[in-house]
Amino acid sequence: MNKTERAIVIKKILDKVYPKTPIPLDHQDNFTLLIAVLLSAQCTDERVNQVTPNLFSIASDPLSMSKLSVNKIYKIIKPCGLGPQKSKAISKLSKILVNKFNCEVPNNFSDLESLPGVGHKTASVVMSQGFGIPAFAVDTHIHRLAQRWGLTNGKNVKKTEEDLKKIFPKESWNKLHLQIIFWGREYCMAKTCYGTECKICKSCYPKRKKPFVHKRP
């Protein structure tokens, strides 16, 4: 089975298991989505969803968020980890959105990635899930599974993203990004499947016996 054939099998299974792909981070609009994604770095979506209601009840738009002190933001988001960095980034990016972007979240990669605390993955999520613009955000789950499924050599996250974009239709990227994450969390976890147990791994590599060791991002 070559890479193209594996991609067809993978998409067929994912579409059957996850016909709908709700965004796992609770949010109200593109600004609250941006903040939630920023907070999710090295933190579970569940924990973020526990923290953001308190934060957004006080400040759910750039203007109100920009008026909060960094310390106030920090006290609320501390359970998400990396509190000092994230609180400063949230404060700074909120002020920039107010002063430079008329309180609107920009809908292009260049402007998004210019904001404090916003890297390519965060920008990709906002572009795809917030604005509906095709993007393929690669997180640790996707980086791991793409290697297990023989879709990339796993050299780095950037290469994984490029390889996935080449093999899957552009119109499928936004949904597929979430489908792969869901599968990685439910069936092909880092410390269980090892590329030999879940349905997709068995379908792609039925003769694989030894655990597959993936390259970390």
Query: Is 139 assigned a catalytic role?
Result: yes
Select from 143, 145, 182 the least CA-distant residue to 22. Answer: 182
| CA distance between the termini of the chain | 26
Which of the following is catalytic: 11, 16, 95, 121? 121
Which of the following is catalytic: 139, 163, 199, 207? 139
55-to-6, 72, 101 alpha-carbon distances in Å: 43, 9, 22
Q: How far is CA 165 from the centre of its chain?
A: 15
SS3 content of the chain, % helix, strand, coil (to 5): 60, 0, 40
Query: Is 29 assigned a catalytic role?
Result: no
User: Which positions are catalytic?
Assistant: 121, 139
